[in-house]
Structure 1
């Protein structure tokens, strides 16, 4: 019964929600990991705007393969691809369930330039918060499903100890509560998810779009890296 209730909670999802290839513009001595931008529809970029390879990552915070990808790719991506301007990376949310929406709202809370740090911080805690999801009681899951929208994501954040990650990054709880009840942002994230999934025909996470083309067989760092190297002629 508990498993069915958990499945029902995770199924209470918001609707799932062409990059031009630019000439190489490497900059000696410049660390492009410090260059950020936010798109009008809520995506987040890091890297050289004129990088020859433009990568879009479609990820879910409740996806274990996304967590593995984030953990395995973080170091080499930043050091070998983003830093010297070869690749620019955009993270796009694929919202699968209310927990996804909760963490997406939190990662987007505060200074947009801190998004990628927030993003890494939550994926580094994946096992911790998903263990709490699996251990959730029937009453907790019922509460997640039945709470008004203005309270739903604050309740999830409290039950799964999601506040502490952002508090440790300098964002106070009142500000986090405001973000977690921001219905306009919820709609933006849900639309981003639906639009991305429909545009590229994405069926699972993580999924990757390179220079406007979905890479069908890449769903991990081990399978994405050769595709990056091929685009770069390495």
Structure 2
């Protein structure tokens, strides 16, 4: 609990655009032949297949896809919202649905508002995760804006972490937002107070820094190779994925 409290305070001092580490990048190799399409299980589309990973993220698509995309993103990050709203549909339709690419989202927590939203997003079922996250990005300016206004006018220094999260869930409207999407207020309260839940998210930050050199959101990793900031948006990431599946000319 002390660790969470210290980290929550530290996150308030963190810049909203970047994390604090260097960036390691490399080139994704093209396969010797184009990756073949893999049919989804009977009665399903690959976009319906969502599982939670050992790293703490949520992965959509064929778990055995030869091309594995990991996105480190923040729910309060405007650039992450742009990627979701401008690029996710093409990513899913062209690559995830073909079974060639799996897409894992891992949270990179930047501040207590982000932590609160992430805990609530993870409160539903695995099937609810990606639709709920998309709705958060679509409405980001509203709920995140309310959260930042609150933090600018109120001190949380003497509040326990779970009290901070619960308060932010109220003032941002996220508790009502979740209820409208099938996650009850009681369940939200339980998720915000769940022991160890915030630690899982903070551990993803640590892995992002130590293993992948993440220094901004969104950051994409393709088959273990961290991509530069030029691939933060779909116009830059799309060609990398095309190369990875052997579609590039």
Range into which the TM-score falls when normalised by the shorter chain: 0.7 to 0.9
2:155 matches 1:153: no
**1-side partners of 2:144 and 2:222: how far apart?**
30
**1:175 and 2:173 matched:** no
**Structure 1 residue 162 displacement after superposition:** 1.1
CA contact (8 A) 1:24 1:52 kept: no
Tell me by how many angstroms 1:135 deviates. Answer: 3.2
Query: Secondary structure at 2:63's aligned position in 1?
Result: coil
Q: Deviations over 1:2-29 (max 9, x none)?
A: xxxxx9873279x98xxxx9x7451178
8 Å CA contact 2:119, 2:191 repeated in 1: yes
Select 2:49's aligned residue among 35, 41, 46. 35
Any stretches of 5+ residues in structure 2 without a counterpart? Answer: 1-8, 21-30
Q: CA separation in 1, counterparts of 2:81 and 2:67?
A: 23
Return the alpha-carbon distance in structure 2 between the equivalents of residues 138 and 75 of structure 1. Answer: 35
CA distance in 2, matches of 1:65, 1:92: 15
TM-score (norm 2): 0.81
What is the TM-score normalised by the length of structure 1? Answer: 0.85
Deviation at 1:183, TM superposition (A): 2.9
Quick one: distance in 1 between partners of 2:213 and 2:160? Answer: 32
Deviations 1:89-142 (CA, angstroms, capped at 9, x unpaired): 0001101111111111011002122211121111111111232234336443x1
Shift in alpha-carbon separation, 1:138–1:201, aligned structure 2, 3 A = closer
Which position in structure 2 is the counterpart of 1:164?
176
Q: 1:139 to 1:9 in 2, by over 3 A?
A: farther
- The count of aligned residue pairs is 221
